[in-house]
Structure 1
Amino acid sequence: MTVAIAIPNYLIGTWKVDPAHSEVGFSVRHLMLSKVRGRFTTYDVTIVTTPDPLESLVQATIDLASVDTGNELRDDHLRSADYFETDAYPAMTYRSSGVRRTAEGWIVDGELTLHGVTRRVPLEVEVGGFGPDPFGGYRAGFSATAQLSRREFGIDLDVPLDGGGVAVGDKVTINLEIQAVLEK
């Protein structure tokens, strides 16, 4: 038996990200003391909402060379073979494999490909809503978070610290704020 899931103003269709009102960001521990935050400025996200929200789809491609942490030297280092190796692996991709409802919200299950390695990475999603925009179109908003191990993706440079630990943590937190426009 299928149970209807009510999402206020839910619309079915294909949605494209509005980069002017979206952000694909991350944070990682630095020197075991604080977090460094960054974002990617070039990406493409497509969301397909279906009559049953649990059958909806997400696809994303992120240009890794567009990394921006607010520090040009650090960004160049992230693009190097020590981390993203953008000459060999220019993009990170995500493709959903399912959607499920939890007591706290939604989980989008999917596969993330980074640095030539594909791993399952679930996204915890909050649906911001669906509604008309002032330009005669419709928009949808989503917030999502995930955590991944950079080592599991073959990004395993560790610079040890004198007192123990490493310069850059293994756990990376992904933060997405997505506003998408319904295609006509």
Structure 2
Amino acid sequence: MSAEPTEIPGYIPGYIAGTWDIDPVHSDVGFAVRHLMISKAKGRFAAVEGRIVTAEDPLESEVSATIDMSSIDTGSPQRDEHLRDADFFEVGKYPRMTYRSTGIRADGDRFLMDGELTLKGVTLPVPLTLELNGFAPDPFAPDPATGARAGFTATGEINRRDFGVSYHGSVPGGGAALGDRVQITLEIEAALRPAAE
């Protein structure tokens, strides 16, 4: 893929410029963190909403998303409640996590998205590697003839301590129960808004 913005659309089959709404039912916001330093604990946030604007020049596109922190799901209700309390996300005080893109760059056959993540009242730059998975007709649209869906994958990493999530637990004999670095994987499906909107 060329790094020249004017050439990029020709390398994205079926590219559609427009405004898209994230479909939470068909999207997944996942994370993974080292547990006891021997394995990875994984989880997801079930409630995400946001908007994606695919510009005529893809490098001028924009993304904004909001995640409901109470929707965390690690497969263990007891652990989820602990993650919601003050040891971790303090959901009662900080109910949402947000992400806002600040720029998109072409990097060979992929895109790099610069953006700002706000978590627990802390806003820091967090770049994501972005993959555009494609476009397809939308069978759920009011007018399937003009509706469309788009799919995106984004990956990145944060240090949880940078955002004030510093709980590490206790391990017999010493050592950390949790790693500091958290891998983030977003699988996003979005629906095209009608032109009038």
Same fold by TM-score greater than 0.5: yes
Instruction: Using the TM superposition, name which of 54-63 and 36-45 deviates more.
Output: 36-45
Deviation at 1:20, TM superposition (A): 1.8
Q: Secondary structure at the match of 1:4?
A: helix
What is the letter of the counterpart of residue 71 of structure 2?
A: S
Gaps of 5+ in 1: none
Matched, 1:43 2:48: yes
1:18 deviates by 1.4
Counterpart residue number, 2:130: 125
Q: Determine which of 135, 150, 169 is the counterpart of 2:160.
A: 150
8 Å contact kept, 2:28–2:186: yes
> 8 Å contact 2:155–2:186 — kept in the other structure?
yes
Query: Which of 105, 109, 115 does residue 110 from structure 2 map onto?
Result: 105
Is 1:4 aligned to 2:7, yes or no? Answer: yes
Task: Tell whether 2:64 aligns with 1:59.
Answer: yes
Q: Give the stretch that moved more between structures: 144-153 or 131-140.
A: 131-140
Measured in 2, the distance between the counterparts of 1:161 and 1:76 equals 20
- Tell me, which stretches of 5 or more residues in structure 2 are unaligned? none
Q: Aligned to 2:168, what secondary structure does the other structure show?
A: coil
Give CA-to-partner distance per residue, 1:114-153, whole Å, 9 cap, x none: 0110110011111100121334110100011110000000
Alignment: residue pair count: 184
Q: CA deviation at 1:170?
A: 0.5
Q: Aligned partner of 2:57: which letter?
A: D
Match of 2:193 in 1: 183
Which residue among 150, 157, 174 is the counterpart of 2:184?
Answer: 174
Q: What is the CA distance between 1:23 and its match in structure 2?
A: 0.5
* TM-score, normalised via structure 2 length: 0.89
TM norm structure 1: 0.95
- In the alignment, what sits opposite 2:73? 68
With 117-126 and 127-136 compared, the bigger mean Cα shift is at 127-136
What is the CA deviation profile of residues 132-184 of structure 1, one whole-angstrom value per residue up to 9, with x for unaligned ones? 13341101000111100000001111224345531011010111100100011
